[in-house]
Amino acid sequence: MNPETDPLYAGIAGVEIEVDHFELGYGITISQTYGHFMAPFLLACIPAKEGKPHPAPWNAVEGGIGIDFHVQLHIPETFEIEDFFDRLNTVCWITALIRLRGAYLAHVPVIASRAFVELPQSWATTRILPIEAYPRRAFAAPKLTKWSEDNLVWLRETWLEGGRLMAKSSVLNDAFQAFDSSGNLPNKSVAMLTIWGALEHLFSPAKQELRFRVSANIASFLEEPGAARLALHHKLLKLYDARSQVAHGTARKGADAWDETHEIASRVLLKILNNRNVPSKESLDTALFAPYDE
């Protein structure tokens, strides 16, 4: 399969949608479908000759992979936007936004060159490519596994301008990818360090006193002046302490620190995308020290 020329039909697992079909713009559609991606394991015990397959017998191994998916994302072969992701990375970007919005287990096990409903009659002329064979880890309980039309409207309003913002801001691009990669890391401790690295990348004005300034900047970015901002600042200080304990090996924190860190990072990235703007040092200083100035 050639993702640069073939039409792309991506099967998205880990999420469902309540509408049959929805237009995202520029020819991109998302719709209901069904597929079961399976990968049984086989074992060969006789060495293969160069350029040849392993000779029989091939022995079945217990276990394997089986993933159901109920969503199809279609990127037409005509899709092209200047200074934007290519078509395969557009699939990855839209799926990452679905994860950010709350369907944390959403991933793309397979893409095909034809709609999945057509595959039973079109095997000989359809190209199929595995993408993410293994499911993501459920470090955070998914909040939104079935998407209503309102959520799809948010996706339609976000994917294009959000992608352009990613292209303009390397800081946002790095932070988003660090956050999104946390679902593929080996455990919560490593994932928490990665997410705090993303937050520091966005909110650290200098290398000195990161704990206070990063926490204060995040709180002033997410909350208006008042008790809610102060409470969030105090929570962030405790979460930063949990991050430091993990980093220095003095303790292994439980689920609460991870869940709260993940939730705050999600809020930060969603607000940046909704605002269509990455906070600058100047805007953070203004929010923190002069919130009422006009």
For residues 142 and 25, state if they share a domain. yes
Domain membership of residue 294 (yes or no) is: no
Q: Based on the structure, what is the number of domains in the chain?
A: 2
Please state, in angstroms and rounded to a whole number, the distance separating the CA atoms of residues 162 and 270.
Answer: 10
Best-predicted range by mean pLDDT among 56-60, 161-165, 204-208?
Answer: 161-165
For residues 80 and 195, state if they share a domain. no
For residues 118 and 176, state if they share a domain. no
Show which of 159, 194, 218 is a domain's final residue. 159
For residues 123 and 214, state if they share a domain. no
Residue range 30-52: mean pLDDT, rounded: 93
Q: pLDDT tens for residues 234-265?
A: 999 999 888 888 876 665 555 588 888 999 99
Q: How confident is the model at residue 115 (pLDDT cuts 50, 70, 90)?
A: very high
Q: How confident is the model at residue 35 (pLDDT cuts 50, 70, 90)?
A: very high
Mean residue pLDDT across the chain:
89
Q: pLDDT tens for residues 185-202?
A: 888 888 888 999 999 989
Domain that holds residue 84: 8-42+58-159
From 115-119, 185-189, 212-216, the region with the lowest mean pLDDT: 185-189
How far is the CA of 179 from the CAs of 171, 193, 221, in angstroms? 12, 10, 18
For residues 153 and 113, state if they share a domain. yes
For residues 111 and 27, state if they share a domain. yes
What is the value of pTM for the model shown? 0.88
Show which of 134, 159, 184 is a domain's final residue. 159
Please state, in angstroms and rounded to a whole number, the distance separating the CA atoms of residues 167 and 281.
Answer: 20
For residues 148 and 176, state if they share a domain. no
Q: How confident is the model at residue 184 (pLDDT cuts 50, 70, 90)?
A: confident
Residue range 122-141: mean pLDDT, rounded: 83
Show which of 159, 190, 220 is a domain's final residue. 159
